[in-house]
Structure 1
Amino acid sequence: MLAAFLDDIRDGDLIAPKRMAERLRLPMTRLSRLAHLNRNTMLARPDSPAVQEKLGQIARIIARAADLAGDEGRAIIWFKHQPLPGWGKTAEELVEEGLAQDVLDDLERQAEGVYS
């Protein structure tokens, strides 16, 4: 799952913001808010380390969720619509609040069989 999702959103060695937005079915303005990046910077400087790091966090969440769900489409739906136990918010909302690492940690606990 990881390879397929990353292949779809990459342009060479970089995560392409437009491709990521398309795969997540999000407008660029929404993706920029999630990533805590200026929309214009994200588009003009996709090779920036800050852009790649922030988009990489989102990509890792989707890829890990796809591994657990067995399907990329389910992972995207989960990311956008399913509140996480113990948080009462979706992964998308938590990422927007700057808690991407907490979402990844939660996914790792689920992979180990620990549920909140």
Structure 2
Amino acid sequence: MLAAFLDDIRDHDMIAPRRMADRLRLPMARLARLAHVNRNTMAAKPESPAVQAKLGEIARIIARAAELSGDEGKAIIWFRHQPIAGFGKTAEELVEAGEAAAVLWTLETMDQGVYA
């Protein structure tokens, strides 16, 4: 599952912002806000280390959620719409707020059997 998602959003050796936006069903401007990257920079220099690092963070969250749920579609719905217990915000909102590490931590605790 992880490999399929990553293969779908990659263009050679980099994460392609347009492909990721399409998979997440987000406009490019919204993906840029989530990644904390200027949308023009993301479009003009998608290979930049800063863009790739931020998109990689989002990709890891989606891939990990897909591993836990067994379905990429469910993972995307969870990311975008399901508030996380204890935070009162969705994973998407937390990532936008710069809290991607908290989302990854939540996914790890869920994997260890803690209900969220």
| Range class of TM-score, shorter chain | over 0.9
Please name the residue that 1:83 is paired with. 83
Please name the residue that 1:24 is paired with. 24
Q: Deviations over 1:12-54 (max 9, x none)?
A: 0100000000000000000000000000100111110000000
Please name the residue that 1:111 is paired with. 111
| Aligned counterparts, 1:35-50, within 5 A | 35-50=35-50
Letter in 2 for 1:30: R
Q: Deviations over 1:85-112 (max 9, x none)?
A: 1011000000000000110011011111
Please name the residue that 2:72 is paired with. 72
Q: Deviations over 1:65-88 (max 9, x none)?
A: 000000000000000000001011
Q: Which ranges in structure 2 are unaligned for 5 or more consecutive residues?
A: none
- Structure 2: how far apart are the matches of 1:108 and 1:3? 19
Superposition TM-score, scaled by structure 1 size: 0.98
Q: Which ranges in structure 1 are unaligned for 5 or more consecutive residues?
A: none
Please name the residue that 1:93 is paired with. 93
Please name the residue that 1:53 is paired with. 53
Superposition TM-score, scaled by structure 2 size: 0.98
Length, aligned pairs only: 116
- Structure 1: how far apart are the matches of 2:115 and 2:78? 15
- Structure 2: how far apart are the matches of 1:54 and 1:33? 10
Letter in 2 for 1:22: D
Runs of 4 or more, structure 1, over 4 Å off, are none
